[in-house]
Every structure is written in C-alpha cells, then in structure tokens.
C-alpha cells in the first residue's frame, strides 16, 4: 500500500511514478520476524561456521522460503528439490546442508563452505568438540559464579540472558548441565563451558 500510494503521490506532482520491486520478507531462523533482539538472525559478518550452523537451525517447514529467497540454486534444480521434499523422497537435513553450503559460499567462498560443513558434521553429528575453541583466562584461585563467567567470557550479552539460559538447561560445564543460577565453579585448565549448541570457551588458568 505504501509503495502504491507513493506512486500516486509522484503522479499528482507531475513526476513519473517509480517502478516498485517487492520480494517476500525473509523470516528469522525461528520463524519469527528476523531481529537482533530475538537472536534469530544470520548476519552477513558471521564467521563461516556460525553462518552454516544458523542456517542448519531453521525448521523443515521454512526450507521452501529460504531456498527461494537466499539460495543461488538454479530454478530447475530448485523445483526438483521442492518436489522431492513434498513427496518425502529426500531428507530435509540433506537439503539444509546444501542450502547452508550455498549461503556460506556466497559470502566466504567455496573452501570456507566446505570447512564449515566439515566442522558442523564433526561437532553436531559426531558429538566432538570444535577444532578451535576460544580461550577464557582465569587468574583467581576462588570459585567463579557461572553467570559471571558466561558474561565475562562473552558467551552471553547480559546476566539476565545467562539466567534464562541456565533455567532452560542450555549451559554445560564439562558436559554437565548447570542446574542453578547460583552455581559456582572452580575453573581448571581445559574446562569446557558450552552455551546452547554453538558457543564454547575453554578455560585456561593463569597466575594471579
């Protein structure tokens, strides 16, 4: 409506109405409006493995939209994929992997897309740790509240987000679920802290 009204306004002022090209709105990875506040974006500046993992997190029901709006798969092949999905002759996971590869390739290149897929298979399908994990240095001999650790290590943006994730069961220390927002841990070298499916840090003890 706004675009058409703008064309009418231009005509009324003696100007040639501009042509309007509209495309559907790409939803976020959880199906809602894509928004930073929802944490459901795939950012153009994401690292390849982050971009790949986020693309893999979309639901099967959203595959058609994402294939149409963000993939560079040729139309004839796209039609075949959609038909295969409709009749159940292809695993949606395999289609998502093809989509994720294509998205990463567009922004980081084919080799980065291959490596991102290999890392995804390693971590999420084989249950291994990522090949590269950020290091968080801890220089105290006192226990640290898990909430403080999550914020200080950059795994979450705020204490409230940390509390919410702990209450939802989304925080693990050495693969043990953190049960309470009051929990404290005594970090040791090699302790792995995991938030959700894609965020890790490895703790390194340093001399105070």
The Cα–Cα gap between 156 and 12 comes to 52
pLDDT tens per residue across span 83-141: 999 999 999 999 999 999 999 999 999 999 999 999 888 877 666 767 777 888 887 77
Read out DSSP for 96-132?
Answer: HHHHHHHHHHHHH-HHHHHHHHHHHIIIIIS-PPPSS
pTM: 0.67
CA distances from 64 to 23, 45, 86, 143 (A): 14, 24, 10, 48
Buried residues in 135-168 as b, exposed as e (16+ CB within 10 A): ebebeeeeebbbbebbbebebbeeeebbbebbee
How far is CA 15 from its chain centroid? 44
pLDDT value at position 191? 84
Percent of the chain surpassing pLDDT 90: 51
Name the one residue in this structure whose structure tokens are 């993992």.
53
Mean per-residue pLDDT of the chain: 89
pLDDT tens per residue across span 53-64: 999 999 999 999
pLDDT tens per residue across span 27-55: 999 999 999 888 899 999 999 999 999 99
């Amino acid at each position: 409506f706004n675009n058409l009204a703008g064309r009418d306004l231009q005509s009324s002022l003696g100007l040639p109405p501009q042509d309007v090209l509209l495309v559907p709105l790409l939803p976020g990875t959880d199906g809602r409006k894509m928004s930073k506040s929802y944490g459901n974006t795939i950012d153009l500046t994401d690292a390849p493995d982050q971009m790949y993992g986020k693309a893999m997190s979309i639901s099967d029901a959203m595959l058609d939209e994402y294939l149409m709006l963000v993939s560079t798969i040729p139309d004839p092949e796209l039609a075949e994929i959609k038909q295969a999905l409709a009749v159940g002759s292809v695993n949606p996971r395999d289609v998502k992997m093809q989509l994720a590869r294509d998205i990463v390739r567009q922004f980081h290149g084919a080799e980065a897309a291959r490596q991102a897929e290999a890392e995804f298979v390693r971590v999420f399908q084989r249950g291994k740790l990522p090949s590269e994990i950020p290091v968080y240095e801890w220089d105290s001999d006192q226990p640290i509240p898990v909430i403080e650790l999550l914020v200080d290590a950059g795994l979450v943006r705020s204490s409230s987000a940390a509390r919410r994730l702990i209450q939802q069961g989304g925080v693990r220390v050495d693969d043990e679920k953190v049960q309470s927002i009051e929990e404290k841990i005594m970090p040791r070298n090699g302790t792995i802290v995991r938030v959700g499916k894609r965020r890790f840090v490895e703790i390194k003890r340093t001399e105070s």
